[in-house]
């Protein structure tokens, strides 16, 4: 079947982000926040025209099913004649079995429910989004696209933890996240830098959530996130890499519950915890506080350490790509990460770095052996692309 119009949904616990694609172009985007209480919807066209910006009624805000009816109304307000051909869903965790996007069937939904324990903060809400879409768009195909799928090409040596093997066989392993972003960048390189697209690439997806991925010949070699999104880099409110003994100390010596430790590491740590000021890098970059400066230095250093590890695992590097909200927009972060890495052949051009435009741009010096780029990611566009491929196959 020919697929022209695709609605991409990213459902959270109390929110739904959405984009409407016609062909490869996003024509409508928006978000519903606060489901359950004080919900609000915002929607705008690709040209920036606000189409909806209002509170949801109590009836509309009940759950994902009722919220999807609001999105459907917005789609029809935007274009009364539009017909959504398919719905693509971001699903955070695909476990070991889902290595590619799949058409959602009752069997697939049952399999996803069975692995909810691997991502209890995300997958149940992703499934709620699927249920809502089935109710709002009866008979239309739904496609699940997984954040973890891109990383399933990792070998055992990069995927396993050094705990008894039975846990690996049960599914305790390094899954990685941000797969849609890494997949998009690996394909986009064929358009903007084809000479290095199949080489050894490190992509740094830096945002409120952050991870890095070593990619060779378009495939994931290894990544910094592990079993959960807590591992690897320091993030907005997540701690990143931490000695497991610290967790045991917090429980055993400080008397904290598992729930309290989970909240601390997920919501009160990272840049927010280190600085005591904010999780927003823009706030920290504009602050005169010594704590903000230390937090920024820590952030750059963690990215640098992970970069070194990824380069070592691949046995070299041809290109370093920055993406994500911070990676695309913070010249200070890009400069801080690249500082002192001339021995790896990484030489950033200060002027090009500061002048980086919205489009992909090379920010390395002509003499740099490693190409340094800042490329806007497009996770929703990747989901739309995958949805179309599955439905038209």
Phi and psi at 222, nearest 5°, equal -165, 165
Q: How do residues 95-151 score in pLDDT, each as one tens digit? A: 999 999 999 999 999 999 998 888 787 888 899 899 989 988 999 999 999 999 999
Q: Which of 85, 147, 300, 318 is catalytic?
A: 147
- How many domains, the chain? 2
| DSSP for residue 245 | H
Residue 392, in any domain of the structure: no
CA–CA dist 6, 29 (Å, integer): 12
pLDDT tens for 338-348 read 999 999 999 99
Is the pLDDT score of 13 beyond 90?
A: no
- Cβ-contact 331, 354 below 8 angstroms: yes
User: Do 259 and 131 share a structural domain?
Assistant: no
- Indicate if 358 and 290 belong to the same structural domain: yes
166-215 confidence digits (pLDDT tens): 999 999 999 999 999 999 999 999 999 999 999 999 999 999 999 999 99
Residues facing 348 on adjacent strands: 364
How far is Cα 331 from Cα 70, in angstroms, rounded to an integer?
A: 39
pLDDT tier at 358, thresholds 50, 70, 90? low
Active site residue 147: yes
Asked if pLDDT for residue 357 goes beyond 70, the answer is: no
**Alpha carbon distance 59, 99 (integer Å):** 38
Query: Residue 14: its pLDDT value, please?
Result: 82
**Same domain (yes/no): 373, 272:** yes
As a whole number of angstroms, the distance between CA 97 and CA 111 comes to 9
Supply the CATH number for residue 94's domain.
3.30.420.40
Q: Residue 45 in contact with residue 53, Cβ under 8 Å? A: no
Residues 134 and 201 in one domain: no
141 lies in a domain? yes
Tell me, yes or no, whether 102 lies in a domain. yes
CA distances from 171 to 133, 134, 167, 191, 266 (A): 29, 29, 6, 36, 22
Give percent above pLDDT 70 in the chain: 99
Same-domain pairing of 204 and 110: no
Between 261 and 393, residue with greater pLDDT:
261
Residue 175 and residue 182 in contact, taking contact as beta carbons nearer than 8 Å: no
Which residues have CB under 8 Å from 40's CB, separation 6+? 32, 33, 34, 53, 54, 55, 56
Judgement on whether residues 200 and 129 belong to the same structural domain of the protein: no
> Would 366 be classed as within a structural domain?
yes
Instruction: For residue 253, give the DSSP letter.
Output: T
DSSP label of 348: B
Residue 359 pLDDT grade (very low, low, confident, very high; cuts 50, 70, 90): low
Judgement on whether residues 312 and 202 belong to the same structural domain of the protein? yes
In angstroms, the CA 74 to CA 82 distance is: 11
Residues with Cβ < 8 Å from 381, sequence gap 6 or more? Answer: 21, 24, 26, 184
How far apart are alpha carbons 59 and 393 in whole angstroms? Answer: 39
Residue 185 inside a domain? The answer is no
CA distances from 379 to 91, 177, 179 (A): 12, 12, 9
Q: Is residue 291 predicted with pLDDT exceeding 70?
A: yes
Model confidence at 1: pLDDT above 90: no
Judge whether residue 62 has pLDDT over 70: yes
Domain coverage including residue 349: 194-379
> Residue 38: which pLDDT band, with cuts at 50, 70 and 90?
confident
Cα separations in angstroms, 218 against 32, 94, 105, 197, 214: 34, 20, 29, 7, 10
Q: Let me know whether 203 and 98 are in one domain.
A: no
Residue 276 in any domain: the answer is: yes
């Amino acid at each position: 079947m020919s697929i022209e119009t695709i609605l991409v949904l990213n459902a959270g616990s109390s929110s739904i982000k959405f984009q409407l694609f016609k062909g490869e172009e996003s024509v409508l985007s928006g978000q519903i926040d606060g489901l359950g209480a004080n919900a609000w919807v915002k929607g705008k066209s690709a040209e920036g025209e606000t189409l909806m910006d209002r509170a949801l009624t109590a009836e509309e805000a009940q759950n994902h099913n009722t919220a999807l009816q609001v999105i459907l109304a917005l789609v029809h307000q935007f274009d009364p004649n539009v017909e959504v051909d398919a719905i693509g869903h971001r699903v955070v965790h695909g476990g070991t079995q889902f290595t590619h996007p799949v058409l959602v069937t009752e069997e697939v939904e049952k399999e996803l429910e069975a692995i909810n324990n691997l991502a209890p903060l995300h997958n149940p809400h992703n499934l709620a989004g699927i249920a809502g879409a089935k109710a709002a768009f009866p008979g239309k195909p739904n496609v699940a696209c997984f954040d973890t799928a891109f990383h399933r090409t990792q070998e055992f040596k990069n995927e396993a933890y050094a705990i008894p093997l039975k846990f690996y066989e049960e599914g305790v392993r390094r899954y990685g996240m941000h797969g849609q972003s890494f997949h998009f960048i690996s394909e986009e390189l064929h358009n903007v830098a084809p000479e290095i697209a199949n080489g050894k690439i490190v992509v740094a997806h830096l945002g409120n959530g952050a991870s890095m991925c070593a990619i060779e010949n378009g495939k994931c070699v290894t990544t910094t996130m592990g079993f959960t999104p807590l591992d690897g880099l320091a993030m907005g409110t997540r701690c990143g890499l931490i000695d497991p003994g610290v967790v045991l100390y917090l429980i055993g010596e400080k008397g904290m519950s598992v729930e309290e430790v989970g909240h601390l590491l997920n919501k009160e740590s990272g840049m927010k915890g280190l600085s005591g000021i904010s999780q927003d890098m823009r706030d920290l970059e504009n602050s005169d506080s010594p704590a903000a400066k230390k937090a920024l230095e820590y952030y750059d250093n963690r990215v640098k350490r992970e970069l070194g590890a990824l380069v070592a695992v691949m046995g070299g590097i041809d290109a370093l790509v920055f993406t994500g909200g911070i990676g695309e927009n913070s010249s200070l972060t890009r400069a801080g990460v690249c500082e002192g890495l001339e021995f790896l052949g990484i030489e950033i051009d200060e002027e090009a770095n500061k002048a980086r435009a919205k489009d992909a741009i090379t920010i390395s010096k002509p003499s740099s052996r490693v190409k340094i780029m800042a490329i806007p990611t497009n996770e929703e566009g990747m989901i739309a692309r995958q949805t179309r491929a599955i439905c038209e196959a």
